[in-house]
Amino acid sequence: MAKSIDVSDLDIYYGDFLAVEGVTIPIAARSVTAFIGPSGCGKSTFLRSLNRMHEVIRGARVDGKVLIDGQDLYADDMDPVNVRRLIGMVFQRPNPFPTMSIAENVLAGQRLNSKRMKKKEADDIVERSLRSAGLWNEVKDRLDRPGSGLSGGQQQRLCIARAIATQPEVLLMDEPCSALDPISTSIIEDLIHELKTDYTIVIVTHNMQQAARVSDTTAFFNLAGVGQPGRLIEHGDTSMMFSNPEDPATEAYIQGRFG
């Protein structure tokens, strides 16, 4: 498990609009990479292009290469559905399926694809995923209750459990803590620390302290102005980025002087 990603010269378009331009970045396996930058700079768009989720929006397309283990995600014969099975995703707002129970939500990746499983196997997946997501002790007595009855932080951890139940190689997180209180946030940050031994994690965050706390590598995105494409300004070791960034814009952003 856990694979590295190599992005080279990626342009992302919505229709004719160039949203993100010329991103080249290696993402190491079994590490946490954080994307920071002001709103609208294309961090989320770039993140979603890593598992071809941005294609859900009509007219979205990319130019360039995204290599995972040497395979181009955007090769003609690549099936986006298979790509997404390989690269899981957690969204900004917790989104458990309202028609499913907690256990069914965890198994959603298998159930929705009509994968046949023995009950024992299913129970094992539920327990293992919920344990990894740090939610098992809170919900083990009510696995058959609706997932939407949990608190926001619990729902988000349920979504993480759901994403890791299918055992992806990479886990993308799009501002997973922005809708959560500080306690839930710290639980999820601890969780990210544990998960990175098994998964390659890419996280978008607006919270600089969070990037500094959880990530090994940080990438700073910025845009020249409204209507201009977002660009990757620089990336590097998180401690280096936060102590001694090369670009003055990065330093200004990290110190809170703009954005």
At 54, phi and psi to the nearest 5? -65, -20
Window of 126-134, 143-151, 206-214, 220-228 that interacts with another protein by CB under 8 A? 143-151
Binds another protein by CB under 8 A, chosen from 11, 14, 40, 84: 84
Please work out the total of residues on this chain that contact another protein, with binding judged by CB under 8 A.
32
Compute the least distance from the CB of residue 70 to another protein, in Å. 21
Compute the least distance from the CB of residue 255 to another protein, in Å. 34
Closest CA relative to residue 153, chosen from 103, 105, 195, 191: 191
Q: Pattern of binders to another protein over 6-45, x per CB under 8 A?
A: ----------------------------------------
User: Residue 237, SS3?
Assistant: strand
Compute the least distance from the CB of residue 56 to another protein, in Å. 6
Question: 229: which DSSP letter?
Answer: P
Give 51's contacts (C-beta < 8 A, 6+ positions apart).
73, 83, 84, 86, 87, 88, 89, 170, 172
Closest CA relative to residue 126, chosen from 138, 143, 114, 112: 143
Residue 91 in contact with another protein, rule: CB under 8 A:
yes
Binds another protein by CB under 8 A, chosen from 89, 122, 170, 188: 89
Count of Cβ atoms closer than 10 Å to residue 152 Cβ: 13
Q: Which residues of 122-151 are buried (b: 16+ CB within 10 A; e: fewer)?
A: beebbebbbebbbbbebbeeebeebbbebe
Which residue number, 58 or 226, has a Cβ lying nearer to another protein?
58
Q: Pattern of binders to another protein over 222-241, x per CB under 8 A?
A: --------------------
Residue 108 in contact with another protein, rule: CB under 8 A:
yes
User: Residue 125, SS3?
Assistant: helix
Question: 180: which DSSP letter?
Answer: S
Residue 159 in contact with another protein, rule: CB under 8 A:
yes
Residue 97 in contact with another protein, rule: CB under 8 A:
yes
Residue 49 in contact with another protein, rule: CB under 8 A:
no
Give 133's contacts (C-beta < 8 A, 6+ positions apart).
157, 158, 160, 161, 164, 191
CA 131 to chain centre: 20
Residue 128 in contact with another protein, rule: CB under 8 A:
no
Compute the least distance from the CB of residue 112 to another protein, in Å. 4
Binds another protein by CB under 8 A, chosen from 49, 156, 166, 215: 166
Residues engaged in binding another protein (CB under 8 A): 51, 53, 56, 58, 81-86, 88-89, 91, 93, 95-99, 108-109, 111-114, 146, 148-149, 159, 162-163, 166
